[in-house]
């Protein structure tokens, strides 16, 4: 059995222009001071990381690893959530997602997609240079505007959308395979892969590609009213990354799953700081230990109420408390009679 690594923290929600959140050494010092052992790096944020340089330069990668090691930190994964989103964008979202891309490809969907694919290739190579075996990303979406079947969807629309999504991702997954890195797709509303069924639809179309895997985040399943504990039973072999994020769903007589177009503060389903929501992390960490999850437990902090620095400070001890140091022995080994095949036969009357 394996003990989960952690606590880790995703830096995306904390990076900014003000110190200590504006450079990797400074933010690393800050997070190490809170008790974190690992950091998940948003690869698109040039204040923290140069993805293209990391793909090309082993020296750059070694320098980053050494700097972090001096602070008692490791990289859990690189993240390409924004670039992965741009691998597949429905035209309805062109304007909204353009801001995720480099300035020189904005307003040009074909160029933007090509840039996103190149970014994914960089991420595979950079991960390999950094000695990482897992990667966190979004898959993008072509069918999401039609998630609710009204008006009735034309026959084959969803199937064609998933065929195209797989066509775009299969060569990217091959590059990750060449570099020995698993992709953990965060199953997330707004992505075509947002639950177990849609992940299976995609997996079938990429021929059960060994690098097509899951970033498990129970908060998104709470808001879909999905059994997030049973999900681990079903998909544990494909879970390669883990975002520790809390959420709550409190429907009323006025609003439910769809949220009534309300803000995050006012909708029934909303993300919360760790320990303030409804996620049963005791069960989750137990399941992860049971199935030998060997990766990192990484806080992704999002909350409509609490200050992020308070959430970060509370997150490290929360995760540390829930990590189960797995046993190497059965609890009743003291009463074991050892192995005696002749005794076994005698007991059975043979």
Phi-psi region of 323 (alpha: psi -120 to 50; beta: other; left: phi over 0): beta
Q: What angle do CA 271, 29, 125 make, to 5 degrees?
A: 75
pLDDT of residue 197: 98
> What mean pLDDT is reported for the chain?
96
**Which residues, in sequence order, are CB contacts of 2 under 8 Å at separation 6+?**
289, 292, 293, 294, 326
Give tens-digit pLDDT for 52-86: 999 999 999 999 999 999 999 999 999 999 999 99
Give tens-digit pLDDT for 232-280: 999 999 999 999 999 999 999 999 999 999 999 999 999 999 999 999 9
Distance of CA 350 to the CA centre of its chain: 54
d(CA 89, CA 108): 12
Domains parsed from the chain with CATH numbers = 5-347 (3.20.20.150)
pTM: 0.95
- Rounded to an integer, the average pLDDT of 12-26 is 98
């Amino acid at each position: 059995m394996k003990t989960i690594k952690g606590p880790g923290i995703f830096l995306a929600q904390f990076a900014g222009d003000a110190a200590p959140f504006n450079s990797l050494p400074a933010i690393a010092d800050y997070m190490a001071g809170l008790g974190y052992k690992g950091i998940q790096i948003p690869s698109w944020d040039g204040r923290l990381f140069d993805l293209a340089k990391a793909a090309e330069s082993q020296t750059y990668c070694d320098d980053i690893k050494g700097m972090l090691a001096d602070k008692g930190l490791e990289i859990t994964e690189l993240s390409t959530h924004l670039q992965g989103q741009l691998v597949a964008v429905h035209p309805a979202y062109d304007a909204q997602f353009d801001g995720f891309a480099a300035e020189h490809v904005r307003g040009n969907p074909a160029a933007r997609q090509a840039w996103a694919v190149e970014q994914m290739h960089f991420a595979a190579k950079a991960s390999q240079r950094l000695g990482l075996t897992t990667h966190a990303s979004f898959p993008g979406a072509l069918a999401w505007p039609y998630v609710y079947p009204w008006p009735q969807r034309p026959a084959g629309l969803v199937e064609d959308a998933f065929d195209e999504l797989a066509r775009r991702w299969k060569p990217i997954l091959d590059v990750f395979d060449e570099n020995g890195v698993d992709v953990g797709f965060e199953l997330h509303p707004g992505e075509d892969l947002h639950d177990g069924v849609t992940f299976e639809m995609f997996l079938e179309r990429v021929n059960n590609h060994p690098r097509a895997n899951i970033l498990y985040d129970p908060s998104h399943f709470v808001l879909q009213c999905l059994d997030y504990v049973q999900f681990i039973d079903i998909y544990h072999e494909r879970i390669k990354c883990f975002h520790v994020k809390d959420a709550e769903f409190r429907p009323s007589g006025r609003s439910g799953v769809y949220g009534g177009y309300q803000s995050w503060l006012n909708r029934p389903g909303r993300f919360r700081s760790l320990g303030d929501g409804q996620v049963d992390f005791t069960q989750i960490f137990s399941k992860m230990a049971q199935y030998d999850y060997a990766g990192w437990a990484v806080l992704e902090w999002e909350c409509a109420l609490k200050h992020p620095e308070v959430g970060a400070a509370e997150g490290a001890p929360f995760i540390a408390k829930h990590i189960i140091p797995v046993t190497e022995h059965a609890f009743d080994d003291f009463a074991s009679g050892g192995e005696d095949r002749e005794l076994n036969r005698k007991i059975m009357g043979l």
